[in-house]
Amino acid sequence: MPGMDGLELQRGVRLDRPDLPVIFITAHHDDKVERCALAQGAAFFIRKPFDADELLLRAVKMALSEVSGNQGP
Summarize pLDDT for 58-73 with one digit per residue, the tens.
777 777 777 776 654 4
Residue 72, pLDDT score: 47
* pLDDT, tens digit, 9 for 90 and up, residues 3-31: 899 999 999 999 999 988 898 999 988 99
**Average pLDDT of span 25-41:** 93
Q: Which residues contact 36 (CB under 8 A, 6 or more apart)?
A: 7
The reported pLDDT for the residue numbered 1 is: 65
From CA 48, how far away is CA 64, in angstroms rounded? 21
The pLDDT value given to residue 65 = 79
